[in-house]
Structure 1
Amino acid sequence: MGQTDVSPVTTIRERILAALQTAESDDAEGIRARTLRLVACAMRDRDVTARGQGNCAGCEDAEVRKLLEVMVAQREVSAREYDESGRISDAEREREEMEILQSFLPQPLEGDALEDAVDAVVNDLEATKLKDMGRCMAELQNRYPGRIETGPAGKAVRRALC
């Protein structure tokens, strides 16, 4: 009792809510605060839906990640449409929001990190043939949720198996 929790913020949800608090204290009407409020509202909406389906804890981190990915995709489309119609300032605003949203998404594995992850999975699964590629890809996606891009990972697995 009397001690404060000093554990690091680990989930995407916690990072977003902490960033929202900071953004609102710095500039409550700024684009960062407005964007994060939209995300928080969408997360609460997903929580209500999850609770209706019997998940009392609300939506999980994977669902929040998917939500952010959808919001980024929506802004990409909007920015392109605004560019085509000559509304440059609106397109720039959409791109700013997109950058804010992307900052909360896990960064995809690339280069040596991807090669190391692939080697570990191939060794752990004792995969030796191209026939094992599906198992390796599934395991990569399980170990690194949201961080595996199918194309580069598939090429890396193929190189490791051949």
Structure 2
Amino acid sequence: MTTLKSKLHDDLTDAIKARDELRSSTLRLTLAAITKEEVAGKEARELSDDEVQKVIAKEAKKRREAAEAFTQGGRTEQAERERQEGELLDAYLPKQMSDDELNAVVAQAVEEARTAGAEGPRAMGAVMKIVNPKVAGKAEGGRVAAAVKKLLAG
């Protein structure tokens, strides 16, 4: 069974052979982030696919935020490159939930939390605890929190 990390390595090799600069530099940076994560802490270790996915998600999010910042700063060329790198990384992640799917999960969690007696602003934490494991890797934290807030306010 190939791991996600070895797939990234194989894709990097292919990208280098194909002289695909965007892919190879993006994958190089991502693999460096994974290695950095592996040697962080007291003992070096091999990351699981889930942990590798979290690193990739974090890298993809950085690219989206950078693209946003470059766009606001009027630097469209850099923004476009960051956007392309983000999309490239998204391909290694589970398909993101649509807003409708996310709202359905959140609505169910709000019901569960209310049944358990969580009301008002305090319900936010209770709902997030129910929602997060169900959407892990399929929706960004910011999106999830926004959906929860909207439904709790509504």
Question: What 5-or-longer segments of structure 1 have no aligned partner?
Answer: none
What one-letter code is carried by the residue in structure 1 that aligns with 2:86? M
Contact 2:63 2:83 in 1 (8 A): no
RMSD between superposed Cα atoms in Å: 3.4
Q: State the identity %.
A: 23
**Equivalent pairs, count:** 141
Distance 1:58 1:22 in 2: 18
Relative to structure 1, the CA distance from residue 17 to residue 33 in structure 2 (aligned partners, 3 Å threshold; closer, same or farther) is: farther
Offset of 1:18 from its aligned partner? 1.9
4+ residue runs over 4 A deviation:
78-81, 88-91
SS of aligned partner of 2:45? coil
- 1:29 alignment partner in structure 2: 19
User: 1:72, 1:143 → 2: CA distance?
Assistant: 23
Alpha-carbon spacing, 1:119–1:73, altered in 2? closer, same or farther (3 Å): closer
Within the alignment, does 1:94 sit opposite 2:82 as a pair? yes
Change (3 A) 1:134 1:143: same
Return the TM-score normalized by structure 2: 0.65
Q: Tell me: CA distance 1:72–1:89, structure 2 relative to 1, closer, same or farther (3 Å).
A: closer
Q: Deviations over 1:87-128 (max 9, x none)?
A: x544433332232233344524511x1232124324444246
Aligned 8 A contact 1:117 1:140 in 2: yes
Distance 1:156 1:105, change over 3 A: farther
CA-CA distance at 1:143 after TM superposition: 2.8
Q: Which structure is larger by alpha-carbon Rg, 1 or 2?
A: 1
**Equivalent of 1:73 in 43, 52, 65:** 65
- Residue number in structure 1 paired with 2:106: 118
Query: 2: distance between equivalents of 1:73 and 1:17?
Result: 27
SS of residue paired to 1:40: helix
